[in-house]
Amino acid sequence: MRILLAEDDRLLGDGIQAGLRALGFQVDWVRDGFATERELRAQTYSAVVLDLGLPHRDGLEVLLALRAEGNAVPVLVLTARDAIGERIRGLDTGADDYVVKPVDLHELAARLRALIRRSHGQPRDRLQVQDVSLDPAAHQVHQGGRSIPTSAREFDLLHALMLNAGRVLSREQLEQHLYSWGQEIESNAIEVHVHHLRRKLGAAAIQTVRGVGYVMPVRPAIE
Amino acid sequence: MKRILGSLQARTTLLVVAVTSAVWISASAAMWLDTRRELAMLLDAHLTQAASFLATGRRGEDEELEHGRSAVMRPYAPRVAFQVFDRSTLQSKSGDAPSEPFVPLDSQESALTTVEVKGTAWRVFSATTSDRDVRIIVAEQVAARNDIALAVLRSTLWPMLLALPLLAATVIFAVRGGLRPMKRLGDTLAARLPTALDPIPTGNTPAEMRPMVEALNGLFGRIRDLLDSERRFTADAAHELRTPIAAIRAQAQAAFTVVDAVARQHALRSTIEGCDRAARLIDQLLFLARLESGVTPDFAMLDMADLARQVLAEATPNALIKEQHLELEAPEPYPVAGSTDLLRALIRNLVDNAIRYSQMGARISVTLGREDGRTVVAIEDTGPGLDESERLRLGDRFYRGKASQASGSGLGWSIARRIAELHRLEVAVDRSPELGGLRVRLTFPSR
């Protein structure tokens, strides 16, 4: 899951980025309001961690513009201000969650997972498509009660497909979901990961729509 | 006595009673003197008259005189006396008069004198009849006169002695009534909560008390402002400490979570850096709190050029990290009055800001000069500078410039501004005409 982190404090941003990465997120880090807007227009993110006290353009202004453009990406506001009025203003402006510094990295990760899950209409953290279940917090995949070992990339790919079960995702969309900036993407990387997943889950679990992308059908295809 | 005079009511009562008594006593004294004089004149006239009466009615009418005198003058009988001498032979006298003449008989003149006979003072009138044979002496005890005067005086003093306690009671009552608004104010103040700093309404305050109430309201206002600023400061400080603490926590947790050894090293180093940053912030907060506590520092004469040289030397390592160039232009000593520690902190804060907020390779210059005999210190850089709205907010605690990417607390400016105030420096912030970045000019007061 790819997250945009907008935080101007060098040490805090660095720590959150390192921590969230270790907890299985792809994290892009920007340090001012302009860069935040630019990245949100250019890329697809599963969620945004937004500090309110950003240079150049205040976090709330960014959020307001974002929602005005119809962008519904889940936004978690991170701030040092805990006055109740501030929180209400943040949530009313279009934030989906509000966390006051300092924050526990595990809590932050759990809140982000919950936001992402809800944004896909999933009421529970554990995803279930066909006979495959995926636990984002524990990073575990099961099929028919059997544990399926997956690499980090395979897990992220499967997570994206399961969150969007029944919808076709293009290769570019999947790449954006899997890789943060500066990571080298080999041209056939997605194909390779899909290939490995099919070997582990069965060929019918993920279907290719030629020229469009990949889809995980809600019910297994009739072979 | 001191306690009594401490009470406005007792003071006023005492004063009124004392002044009234003094006026009364002096009036009585004046009356006493006046009565005595009038009485003396009147009684002297009577003496004279009695003498002439004796002289005309002397022949064979002693019997009748004796009779008349006894009827009219009985209460005064022992206190008046007469003697009639024919040449030096006593012819007749009143019963209690001595046989010796009151005054020597050699004088032929008529005269009024006061003499003492056997320890009693007498007022004496002596006269000689027209045939110059008979000497008539009429006398009256002086004590009798004094008794009359005293009786007159007593009759005026009695009402006064009765009136004094009444007057005191009335004054106490009146003063208490007059001072009631004061007591009410005291009660209002005593009943106030320490947090209640709203002004006391002055609507029905007596005119004499209004300045006091207004002064109190002014004081309340100043205390309220002070408390507000303290509250803001505490809130700001708490918020400002949250970010470094959040950073420390995030880095420490990242050190736990990351698998990679290099990443863990980095996270641990950053944790320590975060601790240093929080410690510096706390130092600055404490420094600022001390500055704002209103303690006046000790001033001494010092050389600003020397001080600037020391500060730049200390700042050089930091500037070198960012490949920045520091310059000092101070052609001669610049003696000023001030606190060495505070002025060093001031210049250091401004130079540190210039280093922190200017880009890699920037130029930072400190120039000392004189304008109208006043020492001027200018700190300039080739950094991004500040636009006007940012310049106005400088010195707000914790305010950092909009484009700030550096990890300052924004407290440096508050500290600098406060030190400048303590030294009565003029501070001007604008764009450096030479270097293009921020220019801060400090002008010392003329000596």
- Cβ contact B243–A101 (<8 Å): yes
Quick check: A55 and B254 CB within 8 A?
Answer: no
Q: What SS3 state is found at B444?
A: coil
Per-residue b or e along B300-328, where b marks 16 or more CB atoms closer than 10 Å to that residue's CB: eebbbbebbeebbeebeeebeeeebebee
pLDDT at B67: 42
Q: Which two tokens stand for residue A93?
A: 């402006």
Chain A residues with CB under 8 Å of B270 CB are 11, 14-15
The 10s digit of each residue's pLDDT in A120-131 is: 877 777 888 888
The percentage of chain B sitting over the pLDDT mark of 70, rounded to a whole number, equals: 88
What's chain A look like in SS3?
CEEEEECCCHHHHHHHHHHHHHCCCEEEEECCHHHHHHHHHHCCCCEEEEECCCCCCCHHHHHHHHHHCCCCCCEEEEECCCCHHHHHHHHHHCCCEEEECCCCHHHHHHHHHHHHHHHCCCCCCCEEECCEEEECCCCEEEECCEEECCCHHHHHHHHHHHHCCCCCECHHHHHHHHCCCCCCCCCCHHHHHHHHHHHHHCCCCCEEECCCEEECCCCCCCC
Domain residue ranges in chain B: 2-165, 210-291, 296-443
Residues A98 and A35 in one domain: yes
- Res B406: pLDDT: 47
Q: Indicate the residue of A16, A55, A80 with minimum beta-carbon distance to B250.
A: A16
**Tens of pLDDT along B401-445?**
544 544 455 677 778 888 888 889 999 888 888 888 899 999 999
Sign of CA dihedral A83, A88, A89, A93: positive
Q: Across residues A170-189, what is the average pLDDT?
A: 81
Q: What is the CATH number of domain B296-443?
A: 3.30.565.10
Is the CB of residue A118 less than 8 Å away from at least one CB of chain B?
A: no
Are residues A86 and A183 part of one domain?
Answer: no
A144 and A181 belong to one structural domain: yes
Q: Is B42 a residue whose pLDDT tops 90?
A: no
Beta strands in B355-432 (DSSP E): 363-371, 374-381, 426-431
Our measurement of the distance from residue A137's CA atom to the centroid of its chain's CA atoms, rounded to an integer in Å, reads 13
Inspect the interface and report whether the beta carbons of A21 and B258 lie closer than 8 Å.
Answer: yes
Looking at the 3D structure of chain A, how many domains does it have? 2
| pLDDT of residue B71 exceeding 50 | no
pLDDT value of residue B2:
57
Q: How far is B300 from chain A (nearest CA, A)?
A: 41
Q: Among residues A63, A96, A119, which one ends one of the domains? A: A119
A18 touches chain B (CB under 8 A): yes
* Strand-by-strand arrangement of the A97-100 sheet: A26-30, A2-6, A47-51, A75-79, A97-100
B340: nearest Cα among B311, B370, B381: B311
Range of the domain at A144: 127-215
State pTM to two decimals: 0.56
Q: In this predicted model, what pLDDT tens digit does every residue of B21-37 receive, in sequence order?
A: 888 888 888 888 888 88
Q: What are φ and ψ of residue B407, in 5° steps?
A: -95, 55
Q: b vs e for A124-137, b when ≥16 Cβ sit within 10 Å of the residue's Cβ?
A: eeebebbebbbebe
User: What tens digit of pLDDT does each residue of B112-134 get?
Assistant: 888 888 888 888 888 887 666 78
Tell me yes or no: is domain B2-165 CATH 3.30.450.
yes
What token pair was written down for A154? 């395979």
Name the pLDDT band for B260 (thresholds 50, 70, 90): confident
Q: Rounded mean pLDDT of B201-212?
A: 83
Closest-CA distance of chain A to residue B402, Å: 5
Return mean pLDDT, chain B. 82
Residue B90 confidence (pLDDT): 82
- Choosing from A92, A119, A146, the residue where a domain stops is A119
Interface check for B239 against chain A (CB to CB < 8 A): the answer is yes
| CA dist., res. A141 & res. A126, Å (int) | 10
Task: Tell me, yes or no, if B396 comes closer than 8 A to chain A by beta carbon.
Answer: no
Are the C-beta atoms of A108 and A49 separated by less than 8 Å? yes
Residue-wise pLDDT tens digits, B136-175: 888 888 888 888 888 888 888 888 888 888 888 888 888 8
Q: Is the pLDDT of residue B352 over 60?
A: yes
Nearest CA in chain B to A106: B253
Does residue B60 carry a pLDDT above 80?
no
**Residue-level pLDDT at B5:** 63
Q: Which of A72, A94, A119 is the last residue of a domain?
A: A119
User: Which residues partner with B237 through β-bridges?
Assistant: none
At B354-412, the pLDDT tens digits run 888 888 899 999 999 999 889 999 999 998 888 777 776 665 555 555 445 444 556 77
- Crossing angle for the helix pair A10-22 and B210-257, to the nearest 10 degrees: 40
Q: Is B262 within 8 Å of chain A by CB? A: no
B258 interfaces chain A, CB cutoff of 8 Å: yes
CB contact under 8 A, A56 and B266: no
Considering only CB atoms, B243 lies closest to which of A12, A23, A31, namely A12
Q: Which 3 state secondary structure label does DSSP give B273? A: helix
Instruction: Compare A170 and B391 and report the one with higher pLDDT.
Output: A170
Query: What percentage of chain A reaches a pLDDT higher than 70?
Result: 98
Closest CA to B367 of B283, B299, B304, B417: B304
Nearest to B250 among A55, A100, A105 (CB): A105
Give the number of other CB atoms < 10 A from CB of residue B165: 10
- Chain A residue with CA closest to B254: the answer is A19
**Residue A35: which CATH number?**
3.40.50.2300
CATH number for the domain harbouring residue A142: 1.10.10.10
In this structure, of A32-41, A42-51, B402-411, the range with the lowest mean pLDDT score is B402-411
Contact A56 B254 (CB under 8 A): no
Quick one: closest CA in B to A15, which residue?
Answer: B251
The predicted structure's pLDDT at residue B123: 86
Kindly tell me if the per-residue pLDDT of A145 is higher than 80. Answer: yes
Predicted local confidence at residue B405, as pLDDT: 47
Fold of B210-291: Helix Hairpins (1.10.287)
* Percentage of the residues of chain B whose pLDDT score is greater than 90: 17
Cα A164 from Cα A169, distance rounded (Å): 8
